[in-house]
Structure 1
Amino acid sequence: MRTKVLQNGLKNAVVWATSLVMIAPLLLVVVNSLKDNVQASSMGFDLPHSIHLENFAVVIEKGKLGHSLWNSVLYSGASTILCILLSALAAYVYSRNRSRLNRIAYLFVILGIAMPFNYFTLTKIMQATHLMNTQIGIILLYAAVQIPFSVFILYGFVGNVPKELDEAGIIDGCSPSRLFISVVFPLLKPAVATVFILAFLNTWNEFLLPLYFLNSASKWPMTLSVYNFFGQYQMDWNLVSADIVLTSLPVVLIYLAGQRYIIAGMTAGSVKG
């Protein structure tokens, strides 16, 4: 009994220590975002002598975060919706028609999870299609990046949907598209919620793609705005910290609101596949 108590205590201590290590950078940024310029120059964990909420107003005005926020919401939202639509259709076809060709196509798609980018080739393609430095171009890129993992998640979940539902829909006169939209897709809500949250967060945090393929500052998402703001105000750590807090806040809120959907979708789709 005593050994079990010691083991549980040790496990809890390890979990708490790991949590503190993970959350320490966030706490450091939050604390320093409330300090003045002089006190924040040391970037320490000491509490602010007085709270300076005006740091956030200065960042919003000088960093033009309002426009960058709109760009991030546009890119993340549009690319995630496009990713879900294409991934769900692909996963349905691959899972329901498990021919050798579809199996090869499925494996080819999910290779994108591990395969690295070739930015030189991608740049040539973007230039040839006149998508360089365009909002539609970056949305398509974001969607393409998220499709492999999304197909992987949805493929396993579609496999858990009984085929008898397809047969019942066909008997009732459903066309293939109607069958997918009205019968199968509504049953994929847990997996779709998981894909939406993960794809949205990954797109929101993406840095390299807009850095390489968006040359106009008016089209930059919040990640590039933080990078540009740091270059201009790198000596003002209170403002830099406030900028990071404002950029990270939507991601944290979305993750906290949707973490139960992530767990439910990942576990439900892991039974088959």
Structure 2
Amino acid sequence: MKRTGTLLGAICILLSVVIFLVPFAFVVLQAMKTPAEASQLRFSWPQEMAFVENLVEVLTMRDGIVLRAFVNSTVLTVTSVAIMVIVAAMVGYVLQRRASRWNPVVNFFVLAGLIVPPAVVPTVWLLQALGLFKTMPGLILIEATFGLSFCILLFRAFVGTIPRELDEAALIDGAGAVRLFFTVILPLMKPTVITVIVVQAVNVFNDFTNPLYFLPGDENATVQLTLYNFMSQTLNQWNLLFTDVLLITIPPLVMYIFFNRQIVAGMTSGAVKG
């Protein structure tokens, strides 16, 4: 039995290496090559190291569009994730703690947010009517809305593991509803908060379709849209493309490395009780 478990573990590790590390190593190798070498798309060590030149060219191309894109993506990610955390934590707490005739209706819309695919054209019409099309606030609302359902379910499951006696004790001590939530409940949600921040930050930072549809234009470019700068119908600058891919990959990778345990804790927090 132990041998079988060890063998399965070894197979899983090997598959993980093949699926994740090999493609990442390929990206790194291409980012270090000259244009001629990178165009061959071979998994080989570069004959001439050109990583610094590629990096400088990527960061300075088109008046620093990649740097502007990193700023735009950072603003988009931080703001939309902050909205998701606060709103989803409040909704999840109320749904779990307060029985109401409106709960089934709210639950229906929460589940619908996970099932119903987003409609691009009606959303564009709505943003145009509100004067938010091609604006950062409009895209922030889009990202926060699309990620809200998943976050609410996580927070609701975690609130089910928090004893109700804590709520009652805080109310007896004179805490109001707002103070109860922000000083007692929200600090206890730390594992789920970290999970939501990391998972949704990676999703928003790596999002390609929503910025493409709802925030077009070079001034509004996000990091994923900068990949277009190195691809065309006649010429693909593979060395610059893979350098840009490497730059885009580093922030989410660092977040997952440092917070992987908290992510697992947050995802499984409501699995037993709730």
TM-score with structure 2 length normalisation? 0.93
- Judging changes above 3 Å, is the alpha-carbon distance between structure 1 residues 20 and 160 closer, same or farther for their aligned structure 2 residues? same
- Judging changes above 3 Å, is the alpha-carbon distance between structure 1 residues 88 and 6 closer, same or farther for their aligned structure 2 residues? closer
Q: Which whole-Å CA distance do the structure 1 matches of 2:167 and 2:193 have between them?
A: 19
Report the counterpart of residue 171 of structure 1 in structure 2. 172
Report the counterpart of residue 154 of structure 1 in structure 2. 155
Moved more, 9-18 or 176-185: 9-18
TM-superposed deviation, 1:232: 8.7
- Judging changes above 3 Å, is the alpha-carbon distance between structure 1 residues 7 and 135 closer, same or farther for their aligned structure 2 residues? closer
Report the counterpart of residue 75 of structure 1 in structure 2. 76
Q: Secondary structure at the match of 2:189?
A: helix
Q: Which runs of 5+ in 1 are unaligned?
A: none
Report the counterpart of residue 15 of structure 2 in structure 1. 17
Verify the 8 A CA contact 1:205 1:223 in the aligned structure 2: yes
TM-superposed deviation, 1:260: 1.1
TM-superposed deviation, 1:255: 1.4
Q: State whether structure 2 residue 37 is matched by structure 1 residue 36.
A: no
Verify the 8 A CA contact 1:33 1:238 in the aligned structure 2: yes
TM-superposed deviation, 1:43: 0.8
- Judging changes above 3 Å, is the alpha-carbon distance between structure 1 residues 159 and 210 closer, same or farther for their aligned structure 2 residues? same
Q: Which whole-Å CA distance do the structure 2 matches of 1:190 and 1:208 have between them?
A: 29
Q: Which whole-Å CA distance do the structure 2 matches of 1:163 and 1:17 have between them?
A: 44
Deviations 1:147-188 (A, max 9, x none): 000001100001111111111111111111111111111111
Q: Which whole-Å CA distance do the structure 2 matches of 1:181 and 1:7 have between them?
A: 44
Q: Which whole-Å CA distance do the structure 1 matches of 2:31 and 2:125 have between them?
A: 41
Amino acid at match of 2:42: G
Q: State whether structure 2 residue 201 is matched by structure 1 residue 200.
A: yes
Verify the 8 A CA contact 1:156 1:271 in the aligned structure 2: no
Report the counterpart of residue 56 of structure 1 in structure 2. 55
Report the counterpart of residue 214 of structure 2 in structure 1. 213
Q: Which whole-Å CA distance do the structure 1 matches of 2:43 and 2:13 have between them?
A: 22
What number of residue pairs does the alignment pair up?
271
Report the counterpart of residue 89 of structure 2 in structure 1. 88
Q: Which whole-Å CA distance do the structure 1 matches of 2:72 and 2:182 have between them?
A: 30
Q: Secondary structure at the match of 1:179?
A: helix
Q: Which whole-Å CA distance do the structure 2 matches of 1:235 and 1:65 have between them?
A: 17
- Judging changes above 3 Å, is the alpha-carbon distance between structure 1 residues 234 and 151 closer, same or farther for their aligned structure 2 residues? farther
Verify the 8 A CA contact 2:230 2:237 in the aligned structure 1: no
Report the counterpart of residue 254 of structure 1 in structure 2. 255
Q: Which whole-Å CA distance do the structure 2 matches of 1:218 and 1:233 have between them?
A: 25
TM-score with structure 1 length normalisation? 0.93
Amino acid at match of 1:56: L
Verify the 8 A CA contact 1:170 1:179 in the aligned structure 2: yes
Moved more, 140-149 or 20-29: 20-29
Moved more, 89-98 or 233-242: 233-242
- Judging changes above 3 Å, is the alpha-carbon distance between structure 1 residues 170 and 11 closer, same or farther for their aligned structure 2 residues? closer
Amino acid at match of 2:58: V
Q: Which whole-Å CA distance do the structure 1 matches of 2:112 and 2:235 have between them?
A: 39
Report the counterpart of residue 108 of structure 1 in structure 2. 109
Q: Which runs of 5+ in 2 are unaligned?
A: none
Verify the 8 A CA contact 1:80 1:196 in the aligned structure 2: yes
Moved more, 205-214 or 114-123: 114-123
Percent sequence identity over matched residues? 33
